[in-house]
Structures are given as structure tokens and as C-alpha cells.
Amino acid sequence: MREYNLTVDDYANTHGVNIDDTQEQNPLIAERHTAVEVTESVNVKKVEPVKKQRLISLDVFRGITIWTMMLVNHADGGWHGVTIADFVMPLFLFIVGASVSLSMVKSVERQTETKTSLFKKISIRTIKLFILGILLQGGDFPNFDLQKVRPMGVLQRIAIVYFTVSICMIFIPRVSSSKIDNWIAKSNFKAKAFLYATIGAGGIFDVFIRYIGTWLVCLVTIVFTLIITFAVPVPDCGRGQLTTRCNVAGYLDELIISPPHMFGGATCKQADPPCINFEPEGILSTIAALTSGFIGLYFGHTLNRYPSHMKRLLHWLVLGLFMLVVSLILHFTVYPFNKNLYTYSFVLLMGGSSALLLVLCYSIVDVPKSKFPKYLSMPFIVLGMNAIAIYVIDELLPIVFGYRQWGGWFYWRDRSNGLVPWVYRTFFTALPDKWAIFCYALTDTFIMIIIASVFYRRKLFFKV
């Protein structure tokens, strides 16, 4: 008897045997092969495949993001500069990009699904997210004044970023490793070992070269946004202004979206001087926000391309620190941090922060073999595995049960006597204002963790 270590696909291609391996493979952590024993009589026996693993750190990352969102959802804001609340949207977009890479790598690169099928799936999901965003933030749910419906919002921006990076993942061809290796082999460059270490498979710039077409699309969006921001004049303001009253992003939103359809509670109304009409999830800032999704997509690709923990962590750490340094240089020279305008100094700051948070989550949760860190992270894991459901519930609960000062659907005599206003007056108003708001938000997050834990225990995971 002779034995060979082959995959099922290798054996099928060599001997013309049609073997249907219908179990889903997981190329995110390690390439999974099915061992095959080949004898003289050509008997094929499948051995149980390696059980696929899940990157818990991504769930923890997502859970920390939504926990932060709930905690600072009641905070005030301003204009230039950064608050903790400003981290939420970029972190969401980063994890959206990373998730697109991890979830679609098999379908796209191994062509297990047609591009038409994938396009249909992402289009349907984008439409669902967009409609859900309009329902939650487009008006006074469940009543909508069509003359004031807000078309843009948090979920709408996430939907646009998700659709854009998914389209790039599906339709922009990658540069294969064999092409890169052939080019290096035929080149006259003497230090070929250096080329293999930098742009070859698993090299420092492997992901950058392999998906160069996608990064060119990202570059086009950056150049377009910068040209519009600094070259288009705003009436009575001129060009290149980044103030609350004079900025091209707000000007374009007033022209295209129109003030009745813009967000009435923009945090920049608390700035000095306050903005008048401003949409924080406006058109131009959403185009700039695409870069956060592309950064996440890059980090997702590194998970697929670099097999070792150390190589991943070192790559993320160096790139994250580089983005932070560049962002600080821009902020203190010509291009300040501004979440409302989504300036590229802000994009790089958030990209670097996302990278360092991923390093922290990955090194604590996924690298150690002990399960103890996972147990400590369970509150974030249960939130992260049902992020969209928790977000929707957290948006709906104030509508149904009320907010700090006014009741929801259920109240006694007038809306100020709702359940939540009564709880807030009874337990929180004795505290100083900021502490009262903080404790109220902390209670909200605690309730959401309980709800997410119930979903997790019952294995209920909601997707759009």
C-alpha cells in the first residue's frame, strides 16, 4: 500500500474523480484541507476536517464599538477636535471593511459563487440597511412627515460604505501571487530576496500590491473629496473654509438634501459659533468616510494573507502608529481633526486607533490558548455577535418607553410622566448633570448587555 497526503480537490483533478465537498471551508485562520488515503485500488476515504475557528477578537472589537456608542449617545459635541463619541462611526466602518474581506474571500478568490449572485446579495443587504436607517432616524418613528424625512443617517452611511467596499472586492481583480513571483524571477534586480520579502507572497507590501486596484479606487475618492473641499467656492465664504458656517460639505448638503431633510440635532449646534443647517452624515463626508471602510478592508486582507500571530500584530502595530503620527502632523499644521466634516486627518487618527484596538483585542483574546480572556470579554462578545439587533433595540426603546425628559408610547396623563422620565427623575436627577447622564447611559448599556446575553444563550443571531 502506498499513502499520499492529498486534498480531495487535488485527487479529483488528477484522476478525474468528481468529489463534492459541500462543507464550508474557513480560509480566515488556516487553510483547511481534508486528508485523503489513496491505495492501489484507488479507494478514497475522507477524514474529518479540522474544525473551523472564529476570530473572537472581531466580535470583541464590534462589541466595544457598540458599547461605546450606547455610553456616549447622550454626550455633547463640538466642531474641531475629538471626543470619545467621535470614535464610534469610524470604528463601525473599520469593522465593516474587515468583515467584508473575511466573509467574501472564499466566494471571490475561489469563485465559489458567481459575481452576479454576490452582487445581488450585497445589493439586497444594502437596501435593507438603508431602509432600516430611514425608519429609525428618518423621522418621528412610526410617524413620518414626507416633507421632512431624513435620507442620510448612521445606518445609511454604513450601507454605502459596505456596498462600495463589497463592489471593489467582487469586481476589481487582484494581482495573483504567481504573477508577482514570475515578475520577480524575470527581473534583473540583484537582490531578489529583498523583493520576495517585500512584495512577494506574505511580504510586507503583499496586501498592497495584491489589491492595488482597490487602493487606487480609494485614492480617487480621497483626491475627489480634497478637490471639492478646497476648490469649490462657498457663497460669501470663499474656498477652503472649514468653519461651522463656511464649509463646502454643509453647502452641498443644503443644495442637494435641503435643510428640511437634514438632521435637526447636529452636535455642531453646540459649537461656538453654532452651525445653522448641517447634516453630520452628509454626502461629501460620507465619500470621505469610505476611506475608513477601505482601511478596514486592508486589515481584513492581512488576516487572510499573514498566517502567524506575530506577523499580523507587528504589521497592524506599525501601520497603526504610522497613521497616528501622520494624523497628528496634519492636525497641528493644515488639516484639523473634524468628525462632522470627516477630514482626512480625522480618518487617519481613527484608522490608527482602530488598528491599535484590533492589536489589543487580538493579542488578548485570540492569541492566548487559555479561555479565561474570552470569559472576561463575554459582555463585548455577546454585544458584537448581535450588533445590528442591539443597535436597533437601543434606538427603539426610547421611542417606546421614553427618554430622560419625555415619555414614549406609554405615559400617565402627559408625556413627561412616562416610565423612563420617572426612573430618571427618581434615581438620577440627584446627581450632578454630567454624572446623571453618565449613570443613565451606563444603565442603558447594562440593559442591552442583558438582552444580548439572552440572545446569545438562545443562539439567536440577527442579520440584515
Q: How far apart are CA 203 and CA 195, in angstroms?
A: 8
What is the pLDDT at residue 35? 38
- 322 and 445 fall within a common domain: no
Establish if 384 belongs to a structural domain: no
Return the amino acid letter for 455. F
What is the pLDDT, as a whole number, of residue 53? 60
Task: Please report whether residue 463 resides in a domain.
Answer: no
pLDDT, tens only, 306-360: 888 888 999 999 999 999 999 999 999 989 999 989 999 999 999 999 999 999 9
Domain presence at residue 66: no
In this structure, the answer to whether residues 324 and 184 fall within a common structural domain is: no
Domain total in the chain: 4
Is the residue at 135 inside a domain? Answer: yes
Tell me, yes or no, whether 89 lies in a domain: yes
145 within some domain:
yes
76 three-class SS: coil
Same domain for 81 and 5: no
Q: DSSP per residue over 215-264, as a string?
A: HHHHHHHHHHHHHHHHHS-BTTTBSS-BSSSSBHHHHHHHHHT-GGGS-T
Q: Provide the whole-model pTM.
A: 0.82
According to the model, what pLDDT value does residue 404 have? 58
Query: Which residues partner with 6 through β-bridges?
Result: 36
CA-based nearest residue to 280, from 266, 293, 292: 266
Residues 280, 307 share a domain: yes
Cβ-based burial of 415 (10 A; exposed 0-12, middle 13-18, buried ≥19): middle
Residue 64 lies in a domain: no
Q: Which portions of the chain are predicted below pLDDT 70?
A: 1-53, 74-77, 139-142, 188-194, 196-197, 199-202, 265-267, 402-416
Is 151 among the domain residues?
yes
* Element housing 45 (H / E): strand 45-46
Residues 235, 311, single domain; the answer is yes
Domain region containing 167: 71-174+211-367
Judge whether 278 and 262 are in contact, CB under 8 Å: yes
